[in-house]
Amino acid sequence: MLIFKRLFVMLLLCAFGLALLPGSALAQDAPAMPQVRTAEDPLQAPVWAAQWGQPGWGSFAATSLLLGGALAMNIGFDNYAEPRWRGPILADRFLHESLRASTPEGMELAGHISDILLGSLIAAPLVVEPGLLYLKGDDATAAGRLALVNAQSMALVLFTTSAIKYAVARQRPPIGECWDDPTSDESCARREAVSFPSGHTSMAFVGAGLICMNHEVFSPLENAWDNVACYTALGAALSTGVLRMVAHQHYSTDVLIGAALGLAAGYVLPKVLYFGLDDGDPFFADDDAALTPTSAPIQLLSFSSVW
């Protein structure tokens, strides 16, 4: 499993680098005169509004450091170190016994399906969403910026999840007879101590959160289909979390915390930093512009100049 984690981080690095081409996407360009975007005619405005934060080389450096740190932890730390935390808490036991697969084949199948779902939820924000934005507005710079914003959130979740996992060192749920009696066999103690939080779940939900945020802010599929994209991504992320429990890889508390971490970084953080949350300005806002939300079914961000 460790080799898959390393490959996963390397794939993130490669996809991240490709997404940043052309290099002009990182430039802090002088903003164009903003126009008014309405729900009826959303393409009248620039693809990337003037008052939105613009990720640059600082964002690129921070993302690279986070990815490098996550890779270093996954390579340098021992997954089978002495656990600091064992066993279920709260509703973990009930949910685990209700959901866990009863055969090794079932566990393996659940694990493979969760891997596929995770891969799709990683690829979509890094490749598909910037591609949709480019097709909508024919703006490679905006597409590159979106790829960097998405990669930044994913790198943060990967780093944070890895750091918590190795600090907490919770042992994965015991398998077979070990679940009923952890002392029944010497092999019961030979389980990875990287259960909390669920990395598959945190990365799946950061991907789903980014997809929902991207379709809410930019509406590349025009309203109704943007809703479909968001709900489909959330369903895939939820399925990933459930399948990690079916595969005996995580407790329900691992999955819940992973989901919360992913949604916070995927949906909330980019709005706070770059696009604005509700009626507030983003942290990296242009002081000469303000956000005015519209009443579209999925909220489009309209904007106007403040002189």
Encode pLDDT of 67-115 as tens digits: 999 999 999 999 999 999 999 999 999 999 999 998 999 999 999 999 9
User: Is 91 within a domain?
Assistant: no
- Examine residue 20 and state whether it is found in any structural domain, yes or no: no
Q: Is 264 inside any structural domain? A: yes
Give the residue among 257, 214, 211 at the shortest CA–CA distance from 234. Answer: 211
Q: Look at residues 85, 244, 77, 113 and name the one whose alpha carbon lies nearest to residue 171.
A: 85
The backbone torsions φ and ψ at residue 295, rounded to the nearest 5 degrees and listed phi first, read -110, 30
Residue 240 lies in a domain: yes
Say if 284 falls within a structural domain: yes
Higher confidence at residue 69 or residue 37? 69
Domain that holds residue 221: 105-171+192-307
pLDDT at 58: 92
| Rg (the chain; Cα; Å) | 21
Q: Residue 283: its pLDDT value, please?
A: 64
223 within a domain of the structure (yes/no): yes
Reported pTM: 0.79
Least confident piece of the model among 3-7, 100-104, 141-145, 273-277: 3-7
Average pLDDT of the chain to the nearest whole number: 81
Three-state DSSP at 82 gives coil
Looking at residue 295, what is its pLDDT? 34
What local confidence, expressed as pLDDT, does residue 46 receive?
62
Alpha carbon distance 256, 276 (integer Å): 26
* Cβ pair 301, 51 in contact under 8 A: no
Q: Is residue 75 part of a domain?
A: no
Nearest one of 166, 197, 145 to 79, comparing CA atoms: 166
Which residues lie below 8 Å from residue 40, measured CB to CB, with a gap of 6+? none
63 located within any domain: no
Helices 92-99, 224-246: crossing angle, 10 deg rounding:
90
Say which range, 21-35, 85-99, 112-126, 237-251, has the weakest mean pLDDT. Answer: 21-35
> Is residue 303 within 8 Å of 53, Cβ to Cβ?
no
Number of domains in the chain: 1
